[in-house]
Amino acid sequence: MSTDSNIPDNVVFTSGPLLLGYLLSWGLYGILCVQVYVYYLAFPNDRLYAKILVYLIFILESVQSILVAHDAFEAYAKGFGSFEALTDEYFSWLTMPIIGGVAALFVQLFYAYRISVLGKSKIPAILIVVMATIQGGSAITAGILAAKAKNLTKLTTLDVRIVQGVWAGVSAGCDVFIAICMSYQLSKREAVFPSTQAFLARILRLIIGTGSLTAVVAVLNLTLFNVFEYGTAFLAPGALLGKLYSNSMMVILNSRLDIVGGRHSSQRLNEVIVRPSSDLRDTAFNGSSRLSEKGFGIESPVAFLRAGGWNRSDTDSSESRNTRIEIGITKQTTVITS
């Protein structure tokens, strides 16, 4: 432990945002772990590129969380009482701008591909790719400049402000544009059945909500960076951006999961759990009746989850009504039980 007699009176404006950023980052990582596990259980037949994307982002976020824990330990435990230890960058130049920016880039490219499949015109997808590439490049550049500064209180140069503005501004604009494009494409889909209409409405709410959230946090990060010139207030939302993008993508992918008998379920407990591949709900992701041809990057469009009091199979009479989860996968006649 080290002590520093030159600790300023307003040290809370430096230590507070850092601590909040560390805590919230780990909280979002816990949510991401649950979402990835649910995805692993529910959609084993998704296309290979979708699985690679999910697990690659999960690895990136895991590395980020480990480095965030390291920074928190160095600043608040090993360097307790030292203002210099509190403002040292450690790995923040890597965890926030670079890893967060790369995760956002992957998620935005994922949406660009989906929009190119849903729509007849490729122009919106190309624009999203361009904006995503700009924000990703700006994030990496911001990380390099931050590494050269070596101290959180020295991120005040003109170069850093320009790059930070491009990164946050383009990222927010890209998120809003994605939400508009996806909402427009999905709103054109005509649903015959009420359950399909409810499913489309749920997807629209998720897309608009997640896109708006990431855009607001990006703008908040930019605003705090420019308003508090020598503080670290911008690090609180900055630490969350990458995991917000990752969780937003997982929310969309896992929205195919339907909890039978749940609050917003389109199925009742006495209805058939396995549905044919021609289900109109497939069109919410691809615009065609066959997801295997032009899907949301998935082979199994919808999974139905039932929890509690069910036997493992019709012939399994020895397994009496214990609480368990059964997931039936569309286009399959088997039920996966965990």
What tens digit of pLDDT does each residue of 63-99 get? 999 999 999 999 888 888 787 888 888 898 899 899 9
* pLDDT score of 287: 39
* pLDDT score of 191: 55
User: In this structure, what DSSP letter does residue 328 have?
Assistant: E
| Inter-residue contact 300 to 330 (CB < 8 Å) | yes
The model scores a pTM over 0.85: no
* pLDDT score of 31: 95
For the chain, report the end-to-end CA distance as a whole number of angstroms: 47
Alpha-carbon distance of 306 to 338, in angstroms, equals 11
- Identify the H or E element spanning 178: helix 158-187
User: Any bridge partners for residue 328, and if so which?
Assistant: 304, 335
* pLDDT score of 264: 59
| Inter-residue contact 52 to 42 (CB < 8 Å) | no
Q: Do the strands 335-337 and 303-307 form a parallel or antiparallel pair, or are they unpaired?
A: unpaired
* pLDDT score of 170: 93
Residue with tokens 């320009």: 162
* pLDDT score of 223: 87
Residues of the chain with pLDDT under 70: 1-6, 8, 189-201, 229-231, 260-338
